[in-house]
Structure formats: C-alpha cells, structure tokens
Structure 1
C-alpha cells in the first residue's frame, strides 16, 4: 500500500477548492512489466461538473504518461477502479485532480494498492482433471517476448508483439490478451490492412518433440471484413498469415503450447479424436451418422477448417427418407443439466432435427425440435435435460434423399445446472445462446463480453458492480470511414404464444449510435421491433411484445458512430405479452401549454428540440406572435426553433402512454407553420416499437393557426402519440403546435365501424 501516512483506519485523502489543479505521487518504484494499481475514488459536485476531473499518470524520468482518467460527477458514493500498466524504468504513480474554485463538491481517494488480488499473472490451469503435461520449449504466452519463436526473414512482413492498452480503435487489434485477459497483456498480431496480395508473415520454431503425434494448442482472434488467412504449417512448426488485395482487419494469436501425443476431445466434444467421445449411431436404425471433414463440402464448427470434423447425415448418401439417431455416452441420473450443441440443418421442407432422452431403450418426447427453418450457417442451441435413472441423449435426424439435404452436429457439451431460458441471458457466466454474426457486410466488429473494469459502463445491470458482465459494442467509425455496426444473434426460437422480450441497454457518447432490435424469420425479411438513439449515463429498460410466428431469431444491432459505446444486459424472453401496469386506462393527455407541458415530453437528441414558448421565436419574423388558446402574445405553445441543430436534426415530442381508446377516438390539435424553408411536421401513432404515420406535412402554411383532426381508433396495445419536426438548411421557418385534445376516446362508446377514421386537416 502506498500513501500509507494518509490512509490510517477511517481516513482518506481529499481535494478541496484551494487550487484548480493538484497532484499527489507515490514513492519511487522499480520497473514492472505487469503493474496493477487499485484504488477507490469519490467525485461529487453540484455545478460545473464537466470541469471535475481525476487523472492517473505514471511518472517515468519526469515524463508523465496517462493511464486512466475520468470526468464529471460520479454521485455521492465511493467507486473502485483497477488500472493495469507496464513500466521499464523506475517510476512513480501520480494522481492529478482538477476542478473549479467553488465551495461545493470534493474529490477523494482511499485504499490505494499497487498489487491487485484479482490479477492472474499466469496462464490459467486446464479445467480437466488430468495432470498437465510438462511445458515444452515451444510454449509461449508472449508476455516477455517471442520465447523460442523467430520471425522469418524471407516473408513479406512481420508479426508484431502488442497489447490492447496501446490501441485507440478496436479494429487495430484485440483490446485484451488471452493470458491475462486485460489490456496490458501481450499477444502477437499481423495487420492485414495492405494492398499487396499474397504477402505473408511467418513465425517458426523447431519441433523439439520426437513423438509421432503432437498436440498444438493456441488461441486466435481474427477480425475484419477481408482479413486473409491463418495457416499452421508443419515443416518445423510455422504460423503463417496471408494478405489479400484491399484487406482490412487483423489476425492475432496467443498462448501457444505443444505437447507429446494426440490432442484429446474435451467437453465440448468436437469429434476430432477417433473415439468420437463415445458418441455412436443407434444400431436399430438403417442409416448411420458419419464423421466428416471439410472434403465432404461441409466445414466443421470447431476449427472452421477442412481438416476439422463434425457428425453428419447426408441426403446424398440416402436411397429413401431415413430417421437416424446419434447417441451420447450413457450418463448417470441427473436432476438438471444443460445440453449445448451446434447444428446446421439444410433447407428441405421435410427435414428435421430433434433432441430426446433415451431410457431403457425408450425414446421420450422431444425436448427440442426444429423443422421447416433452414440454417444458413452454424447455429447454437441449449436444452435442459433431467432423468431419475441412467440415460443417453439422442439426436434424431429425419432426412430425405437429396444432394442438398444434410444435418450437421458439432461441439456438444453437457454441464450441471439448468440452461438459461430460451432467448434469455444475464451474461454473468457467458453469452448463453447469443452469438456474434459472422463478419461480413452487415457486421464489421463484434460485441465484446466484458465487465465494468474495461471500457463502457462502470457497472453492469445484473449485479450493479464493476465485476458484473455485459455485452459491449464500442461505437467507432471503421477504417473506410463508414458507420460500423455489431450484430448479436439469438438461438432459433419457436413460440407457442405471444411473449415479452425485456432487456436493459446503455448508450453513451457525444454523438450516439443507434440500437436496433430486429425479428428475423426469413433471410430476406427482418422486422424492426425496437430502435433508439437515447443516451445517458444510466441503464435503461425496454420491453417489446413479440407475436407468435414461425421460427425466428432476434438480432440486436449496434450501429456505430464516431464516439461512444452501446451495451446490453439482462435479456429475458417470457411467455405472455409485456404488461405496463403504470398506464392508467382511459386517461388521454390534452394540453394548452399555458402552465406547463402536461404529460408531453421532449425526447429529442441534440440541440433541435421542442420547447415551450410565446410571442414568436428568437429568429426575426418567424414563429407565432400569438398562441391559439388565448389569441394573445401572453399565451404559450410548443415550438421548434430552426436556428438550433443542423439540417439533419429532428425533434420529437411524445405523449405519456395511453390504453383502452375507443374505436371513435380522435386526436385534435392546432399547428402553425410559417417562414421560408419550412421542414416537415409528422404525427405518429406508436404501439410498442411500431410507428404508424397519421400525418405528414411540409412547407409554408402562412402566419395563422390551422386545425388538424386525426383518427386514432381502437388499439390493442399501450400506445403513445409522437410529434416529429424536421428542419432544412434555412433558419427562417418554424413549426409550432397548441391546444392538443382527445375526442370521443373513453370507453364504452358507440362503435359504428371497424375501419380507421379518415385523416383530415384544414
């Protein structure tokens, strides 16, 4: 512990408004390749919060290098921070605080340590019970260098040793290594961004093990729309990467190990050993499951390579429709276990795959089944299984003879404990069945499974701690200057009733990105369920009713911009439509805006907003000089000022949530659109995340108020009404509204017709 003279029990060090910038520093410390600083901080201030700043530096021979910084009010609570760093020379840790000279507010520090109990400085031990093989001279985690691996001299470019803390953008390399799992651990990386097709980067090591079989283990990370290839070549042992023209992205490797003997299949089983992990075809079937490699035309899931293996039933091998079962080894009784597997089901309408428990030769009803929903790549599924006695799991494939029909299985595992509910995950133990889309045109960087010690929110939503896990998309512009997005995909879901999708999201940044939720029931069609740009340094909730439909997948898409991040947590899919118990039936919020905005709220993003005003706007000769309610300069209305924001901006004014409107419900208001270069005024009926346009107007309507009456009609969900206004390049035109009211909306009512009311305005 450093600064010990300040931190006796019950005390802390604090900075009060004496000077604008202040420093404290540690004693002189020795070089450290794996340094870790842990401390608690308190930052609270009522005014000028943007001037409140705490920065941590390392002082190396008089040169300050920033390690960590935070700006703004963090609330009246203590927060913990962990900072990893390296320094090759003697150094000091420096804390710098900056704030304005005011009487309120404080920055405080406590419990500062220069060794972190959570920091694991070694490669994690294997999870198997077998004794670990002795290390070889070829093993390397790259924390201290290349070990016994050398750069080839006759290749086109080199691998680089790098750590995530050196990066500003996620497409320049992994933001953390595999060994330490933080941004100060090292790995090897090859940058693919070049125009020289066929250029290679090669590292090699002599093979020092004389056995016939050797097992080479390594972790790799490949990201980019055209990232090239990674090859493992057994001459000596070489890792080679190949560039392609116009390539973008990178390939990284970490934690290499080489041991004598063939690699063993672990849990999950990837079918790479001759034993097939004890799996076998049911001898009572007429056809069998085949262990195939990439030469069959089907790439496995484990290695995604031609030499990788998976289990398959191929329609090209069948003479007639067949039912074929693949059986796991026999297991003892189980109260609850989670079966996880990857599958690929072809497009045949009669093809199907189902999962059953097999006990005493009898097949139980299906626990999971899928048909009529072709896969376009490998997909994941989880099933909770239980049995009071010994059992096997049976994968039952039904397939017709067709050269294009097939069923594939790979990477099957069983672990104790129930699976997460379908489509649900709190991300504390992994990503459940939510996976990143394959990199391509629609997906240019991945969601990252991370905690609050990294970038993004300081805490997750589940545990409200920095150690809690969530999924993070770093919102950036890619190397081609285009908006970059991440796409997260659920398992394939089959609903028997309408269900509620509920999740928490966190969007932050000066120029926020867009978070979308889409329902994908067909490769050619996607329905938008939810879309938002709303930012704020808090977790927000969204609930969406998902209608019963054919098998579908949910896509959560974060579309990036220049700065900021988007995070999601606690995704839940539960039976029954979403309920909004806070919405009172039969309450419809009219307003004349004379005293306040009533139950109408501006939800605009940026400076172009709806505001309550009177007697014209700040731009000369624009805006109403009188309101509609009183007809005087003293009356109030809602308006948008065209001199604010830019020409791409839109302002949004939303009502409170309503429900149980009659079939004859009408929405009435008065509008004023006057000046040059008037933008557009739109009115939407919003049910969940579906927006139905009721009115769309533009242009100069003169210096007078006009009445509009719109049909709302009977709605089957909670709904809101939304005014959206846009602006043009001109600053000489404004849009205003006044005297909002609802007519004939309360139940019961006289239902003359089920057809929507006509839109009319004058």
Structure 2
C-alpha cells in the first residue's frame, strides 16, 4: 500500500493466553528482503486473557506492507491470535499485490542495527554509506555518519535530529513516535488533530496540530487507558521528563505518570485527579538515574459515566544524557526580573505563581514592591477570588547535585502580610527514592516586611527544592524574591537557631538532668513542642530539658552561652516552650566573668502548646559576660518538658516587661490562630489603608512613622472576631493593671472587648474567658485610654477580641499596652498631649482676668483722686 505521504493507520485486535514472556510486534516493510523492517508497535510480555484493540500510525511515501511477528518467550507455550485487521481511508491498496522492490531499486537505507526504527522514515533517503559501527543521518545533506552509540542518547547529534527520532520525545505532529496504546480495556489513547469540534480545540505545539487523547469507553464508570513510551535509554541522575497535559475543567477524569523498570515493576511518579482550568499545563518530573532501559506510561482514568477529556502533548526529556553535569550552584539563583530562570511552575496545584511589580491587586496584603530594589519584580500568589482557601502554588527548581561535604546555603526572601495569610513551605524532594521532606514553613501574618530564610542543605542525593504557598483567605497574598544558592554553610549571625549544632553553648547538669538538642516531638506525651520554632517543621532543631518520674523538685540544669564582650548587646531575646501540667520554672541570668549572676527573666508553669517570645534588658557591665538559661524541675512528672530556640542578642534596648508600643515587633502578644481567629491583628503605621476609618497616626509618637496594631474591617463577614492574646501572667496578691490606648473610628465600628482567661476555663472549651471591659461603635478620630484591674489566684492571660460591625469601615486599633502588678488608678492618668489646649486656655483666661481686675482698680483710684 502507499498513500503519497499521507498518514496511515492500521487497526487490529489481538488475543493472548499463557504467553507472558512472548513478544508480538507490528512492523512496516518496504523492501522485499525484509532487511528494512521497522517495528511500529510492540506488545511486551503480558497476559490479557481477552481481545484487545490496537491502532498504529505510520507515514511513508513508499509502497509498504504490514508484517505481524511473534517471538516465543522462555515460558510455557500459549496462544496468540489476531482478528479484524483494518486500514484507514488514507491508505491506497495495490490491486495487483505487486512485489516490493529489492535493495537496488530503492533509495531507502538498508536496515542495520544502526538505522533508525522510527515509523516516519521517508523513502527519499539515499543508500546507507556508513560503516557498521556508525549511524547514517539519512535526512541530513551529504554523507553524515555518527557513532551508533549516539543514537537515542537524549542528544541531537545529526543535523536534522534523526538520531533521536522514535526515542521518546514527541510532538505527535507526524506520528506517535513509537508511543503505543497498551490499554487492556475498551478505553484507548488516540492521536487526534485539534479543531473547533474537539476538546481541547488546540494542541500545545501549533494550535491546529496533533495531540494524544484518551477515548474513554461510553457508559463506563471506571475505565483506564495507558500510553507507553518506547524503551528509553539509560539516563543521568538529573534526567527529567517535560510534558503538557489537559484535563477538562471540573472533570472526574485523572491522569497519572508511571515509570516501568526493566524488570517490569512500576512506580507512580505523579497524579492529577482534577483540574480547575481548561488549558494546556506544563509539568516537569524527575526520572533520575537509570542503568538499564526503562519506560514511562501515561495512564488516563475516567471515574464517572459522563465523558471527560484527558490529553497530553509535547513530550521531551531534559538533562538525561549520561554525560550531563549540572552548572554551578549560583546559576540556580533568581531575582525574577526576567522570568523564572531555572525554576518551573508545579502542576500538582491549583494556582500559578504570578510575576508582580509594585503592590498586588488586593489592598492591605502583599508587598509594596520587590525586595531587590523596590522597583523590580517578584513572585506572588493572588489570594482573592477566584482563589479559595487551601488553593496552592508550587515553584520547583531544576534537579540539584548532592550537597557535598560542607553542604550549601539556600536563601530566599519572603513577604507574608495580611489578615488571612495561609502558609509558605520549603521542601527538599528526591527522585531515587521518591521522597519529599518539609524543611521550613511559616503560616499567618508575619508583618509588612521582607524577611530572609537561610537553610543549610546537607542532602547527599540529587534533589530539587520546592516552594509551596497556600491561600488562607482573601487577604493573604504571599510573595518571594531573590533566591540564591552558595557552597558551604550559611553566614554566621547573632541568632542561634541550633540547626547546625549548639552555637558553642555549653552544659552544666545537676545529676542526670541535661538539655538535649532534639527534633520533632519530645518522648513524653502531653508535653513539649511538636516542632522547632525556626523552621516550624519536625526536621528543625531546638534544645529541651526532658522531665522524668524520678525528678526532684528544685532539680536544675543550665546552658551557658559563650562569653560576650562587655560592649556587645543591650537585649537578649529567645523563644521558649513550656507546655504540660508538671511544668517547672525557666530562668534566664546574666552572668559576669567571675560567676556572679543577675536574674533578668523568669517564667513558671504551663504556658500552652505554642512557642512564646521573651526578651530581657541586659544590665550595665564593664567585663565580658554570658547568658545562662536554667531549667528548674517541679518534681517527679513526665509532663514538664521545657524547650528553647532562636536565642540572640540585639543592640537595641528592650521595652519594659509588660509594655508594648509595637514599634519594632508584636512583643509577646500573638494572634490566637486558625480555627478560632477569623482574621489577624496587623501591625501598621500611618493612615489606615481603608477610607474613613482607623487612625492616621500612632499614639506613642503621634506620627505617621509610629506603629500600632489594628484589625482590617474589610476582611471577613459581619460578626467574625479577631483575637489578640497576651503572655501568661502569674497570680499576684496585689492584682494586675492593664492599661491600653484604643482607636475606634468609622461608620460601622463593631465591638472591642477585653477578657481574662486561664487553663481551667480553656479546658472547659472557653477560648476567651471572663469579660472585663467592652466598648462599641464609633468613638471619633482620636486615641482614648482605658484600664482594667484584675485579681486572680492562678496563672492567667488577657485577650483582646474585636467583633466586626455589619459593614466594612470599622477598623479598630490598639497601642501602648502596659501590664503591671497592682491596682489601676481610680482616675485615669492625664494625657498631656490632649490637655495642652486646656492649659493654654486657662493661662489666657487668668491673664485676661488679671487685666480686668487691674483695670477696675485703676478706675476706682481715679475716681477717688477726682473727689479729693
């Protein structure tokens, strides 16, 4: 048959029984001798026990015949059968059944082990002039011969690339490139041309070209079709497959990618079960090192009776040649000024990372500019509609080499600001075996600023870095910028996060108690942290003091920092974790060089299942000093594990304990968290981003540069609440006084309340506690002061709760919060900034009054003088 270079297709059904090791092939023959037979389709070793359908496409301008060939395997003899062989209408049959030409009457190259097996070989090629150990580039001009070992090595060596034809990469524009449907059921993969009457209506390559699509059997609620690659050559550890896929929107269909080893074992590399978009999406998957040939399969599954579309196009292989070596680490960095560099979008997600410059489109969330120059570009996820809570976006690096003896430092900058920020995570992923490890994460509002992450990577396998951001709500844009990789450990900083050791902190244990560097959960139940504070993952490190049933009350264990110069540091900061019914006391001392100690911080008892922030001012000194962290046991218990992390000295002065002006941080105040909190309190400055509501200046400095905390009333529905929680406070016979300044301005201001809570009330399901103060509605565009006196016989904490009004336009703010022992003043302190006008007015009045009195006296004197 011949078709004048049109596409041909042969269709047939085959049956096999007890022939698991046999091999059935369909081949194309254009020479009488059969020396040029080319394999078009292969049914590898299998047992189907039923009639199966196959379809093979080919392209040739020469007359040809189809040959079915069966090779007996090593197993038991079985049965193989063919039936219902048919050809497409493009095929032209020779009514005379003429003989095929011999070698001398054709210009096609003779078939040797070095000639290509691609079905799209045309008859215009000259006779093979190359030697036995060479491959003839028959589509290239002139005599071009390359080593036979270069065929199918993932690298184009022939000028026209014919040495890689039929070796795996395929656009499906001319044929299937030896990709074969190996489905067992009635659903089949078919090559289809794009048109307005098909879905998708365009292919990925050229809009009107070809792609592979699953033709699901009608009426079936569970059917699968498999598309198998030709045997793929051994590959480098950095090998990746790249393809584009299409799943109809809101489809019940799914697509899986599997890898089949030489021995027949299969592993799932990737799966996508639904799609929210109806366009072609790219994906890169690591294939890794292979010493033997292997195959890749695309599996399309229909999970409902309705018809759904699953399609693939433009399959290629990257960095797979055995000789491939990755570039220097620095080349994997990116500032996103000119695209994604060596990074790619993930496809196992619902969103894409977007390129941004300046503010994002949603107000009161996201950065105002990039990190690099404030005028450049960055990547971000858009959290507003149509995005919904839980949607995520992945950004994946190229495959990176093993980290080496000293590892490398992975650094990037992130921005997480908004009332409903979700999470940002960093994973390390390997392909052999296929594993994904969480190494860093943050969730919730982190402030309106760019923050840096530095992670020391020591993974001794080929791997890739994955950055994943998830939507928390409509005001939750997350941005990243300035990724860099450099050999060796990350630069030393004043922060000790215990990730690479103890930072030269030393132990002094009493008896068998000592602080332990640890990861993840502690060994005792109902106590200790679940993860560290630095990375918020089970792989991060911290130090903890374990509790035991043999502990003695008052038993101590201490950690000592290295000596610091006398002129270094004004404030020590750390994060501590004290959760458990048997919790003891955590003390922090400043110790002079001669051993004299001064207590600068102390906390006792259960502080809840969270990391808490502490800071303490350092005392003046003339000599070197160190910081001592001491744990004191409460007695025999296994519910008293305490932990510390992220210790550092700063040169800035600490605010007094119990006081927060929000100028630099949130101090020890924190948002209650997801599940109870429906929108975070945010740290801001200047005017509110929302019109006609909120403060224009802070209270501390009375300027636009000062800071305060506020609730964005444009986020969330009517009645939802935001919770701001203090540190845990110890009971005092004198009680405590809470003083704060609040700002409630706008047409739709809701209600601000102050509660006190304790463990007993919380255990009973009460997240807010006992109401102590409340204010509702618009109070004008001014800061006002309030104070609350409390007495308590057990540890407690304050909770500010703001409940939104019926409409947007009701921002509320807090500033200059103070908690001190003792009762509050019966009369509120005078705000001198508000009384300046009154003082001036009083002075003017007194002057005027004095002038009047003087005038009357002068008049009376004058009258007396006249009488005389």
TM (norm. structure 2) is: 0.45
| Contact persistence 1:142–1:254 (CA under 8 A) | no
Distance in structure 1 (CA, Å) of the matches to 2:703 and 2:418: 30
The alpha-carbon distance between structure 1 residues 487 and 358, as it changes in their structure 2 partners (threshold 3 A), is: same
Q: Distance in 2 between matches of 1:178 and 1:506?
A: 32
- 2:352 match: 158
Partner of 2:371: 179
For the 8 Å contact 1:193–1:250, the answer to whether it is kept is: no
Match for residue 188 of structure 1 among 371, 380, 392: 380
In the alignment, the residues of structure 2 paired with residue 570 and residue 228 of structure 1 have an alpha-carbon distance, to the nearest angstrom, of 30
Q: 1:306 to 1:262 in 2, by over 3 A?
A: same
**Distance change (3 Å), C-alpha of 1:435 and 1:508:** same
Matches within 5 A, 1:476-487: 476-478=714-716, 481=717, 483-487=719-723
Give distance in 2, aligned partners of 1:156 and 1:180.
28
**Contact in 2 for aligned 1:477/1:560 (Cα 8 Å):** no
Shift of 1:143: 5.9
Q: CA deviation at 1:329?
A: 1.5
CA displacement at 1:409 relative to structure 2: 0.4
Match for residue 442 of structure 1 among 670, 676, 691:
676
Partner in structure 2 of residue 563 of structure 1 = 808
The size of the alignment, in residue pairs, is: 444
Q: Cα gap change, 1:210/1:347 in structure 2, threshold over 3 Å: closer, same or farther?
A: closer
Contact 2:419–2:681 (8 Å) recurs in 1: no
> What residue is the counterpart of 1:370 in the other structure?
603
> In the alignment, which of 223, 232, 240 is matched to residue 427 of structure 2?
232
**Could you tell me which residue of structure 2 aligns to residue 287 of structure 1?**
513
Matched, 1:506 2:743: yes
Q: How far did 1:282 drift?
A: 1.3
Answer yes or no: is the 8 Å Cα contact 2:687–2:704 preserved in 1: yes
- Write out per-residue CA displacement over residues 477-535 of structure 1, whole angstroms, 9 at most, x where no aligned residue: 53xx4633332222333364344322222223321122222223333462223221232
Q: How far 1:549 sits from its partner (Å)? A: 4.8
Match of 1:124 in 2: none
Look up the match of 2:700: 462
Contact between 1:221 and 1:252, CA under 8 Å: does it hold in 2? yes
Q: 2:758 matched to 1:530?
A: no
Match of 1:578, SS state, is: coil
Mark the runs of 5 or more structure 2 residues left unpaired by the alignment. 1-327, 431-462, 523-528, 831-868
SS at match of 1:136: helix
**Pairwise CA distance, 1:292:** 0.5
Supply the distance in 2 between the matched residues of 1:582 and 1:402 (Cα, whole angstroms). 46
Q: Is the 8 A contact 1:484 1:559 kept in 2?
A: yes
Q: Secondary structure at the match of 1:277?
A: coil
Give the conservation status (yes or no) of the 8 Å contact 2:517–2:542: yes
For the 8 Å contact 1:265–1:271, the answer to whether it is kept is no
**Secondary structure at the counterpart of residue 568 of structure 1:** strand
Structure 2 partner of 1:742: none
Structure 2: how far apart are the matches of 1:450 and 1:135? Answer: 38
Q: State how far apart, in whole Å, the 1-side matches of 2:424 and 2:330 are.
A: 27
Q: Against the structure 1 CA distance between its residues 295 and 441, is the aligned structure 2 distance closer, same or farther, given a 3 Å change threshold?
A: closer
1:416 to 647, 651, 675: 651
Could you say what the CA RMSD is over the residues aligned between the two structures, in angstroms?
Answer: 4.0
Q: CA deviation at 1:254?
A: 1.2
SS of alignment partner, residue 367 of structure 1: strand
Pair 1:566–1:272, CA change in 2 (3 A): same
Match of 2:755 among 506, 509, 518: 518
Q: Which whole-Å CA distance do the structure 2 matches of 1:540 and 1:183 have between them?
A: 39
User: Residues 518, 300 of structure 1: CA spacing in aligned structure 2 closer, same or farther, 3 A cutoff?
Assistant: same
Do 1:194 and 1:247's aligned partners in 2 also have CA atoms closer than 8 Å? no
Say if 2:359 and 2:369, in contact at 8 Å, map to a contact too: no
Separation in 2, partners of 1:286, 1:304 = 29
- Structure 2: distance between partners of 1:476 and 1:346: 36
Name the counterpart of 2:824: 578
- CA shift, 1:372, in A, is 3.1
Q: Deviations over 1:101-123 (max 9, x none)?
A: xxxxxxxxxxxxxxxxxxxxxxx
Q: What residue number does 1:358 align with?
A: 591
The C-alpha deviation readout for 1:688-732, integer Å capped at 9, x for no partner, is: xxxxxxxxxxxxxxxxxxxxxxxxxxxxxxxxxxxxxxxxxxxxx
Q: Tell me the equivalent position of 2:396.
A: 204
Aligned to 1:557, the other structure's residue is in SS state strand
Larger radius of gyration: 2
Structure 2 partner of 1:28: none
Q: Is contact 1:220–1:253 with CA below 8 Å preserved after alignment?
A: yes
| Aligned counterparts of 1:197 and 1:427: Cα–Cα separation in 2 | 29
Change (3 A) 1:199 1:486: closer
TM-score (normalizing by structure 1): 0.51
247 and 486 in structure 1: CA distance in 2 versus 1, 3 angstrom threshold: closer
Per the TM alignment, residue 404 of structure 1 is displaced from its structure 2 partner at its CA by 3.2
Residues 165 and 175 of structure 1 are in contact (CA less than 8 Å); yes or no, is this contact kept in structure 2? yes
Aligned equivalents of 1:190, 1:378: Cα separation in 2:
29
Q: In 2, Cα distance between the equivalents of 1:285 and 1:388? A: 34
Would you say the 8 A contact 2:711–2:812 is kept in 1? yes
> Quick check: 1:165–1:183 contact (8 Å CA) kept in 2?
no
> Paired residue for 2:410, among 198, 201, 216?
216
Contact 1:328 1:394 in 2 (8 A): yes
* Cross-structure match for 2:661: 426
> Structure 2 CA distance, aligned partners of 1:325 and 1:226?
38
Distance 2:399 2:358 in 1: 30
The residue aligned with 1:394 is 628
Shift of 1:475: 1.3
Q: Are the counterparts in 1 of residues 515 and 545 from structure 2 also a CA contact under 8 Å?
A: yes
> What is residue 139 of structure 1 aligned with on the other side?
333
Q: 1:517 to 1:498 in 2, by over 3 A?
A: same
Q: Aligned with 2:660: secondary structure?
A: coil
Pair 1:530–1:147, CA change in 2 (3 A): farther
> Aligned partners of 2:707 and 2:618: how far apart in 1?
26
How far apart, in 2, do the equivalents of 1:160 and 1:142 lie?
10
How much has 1:448 moved relative to structure 2?
Answer: 1.8
Question: What is the CA–CA distance in structure 2 between the aligned matches of 1:209 and 1:248, rounded to whole Å?
Answer: 38
Please identify which structure carries the higher strand content. Answer: 1
Tell me whether 1:494 sits opposite 2:720 in the alignment: no
Residues 221 and 251 of structure 1 are in contact (CA less than 8 Å); yes or no, is this contact kept in structure 2?
A: yes
CA gap 1:475/1:361 in 2 versus in 1, 3 angstroms = same
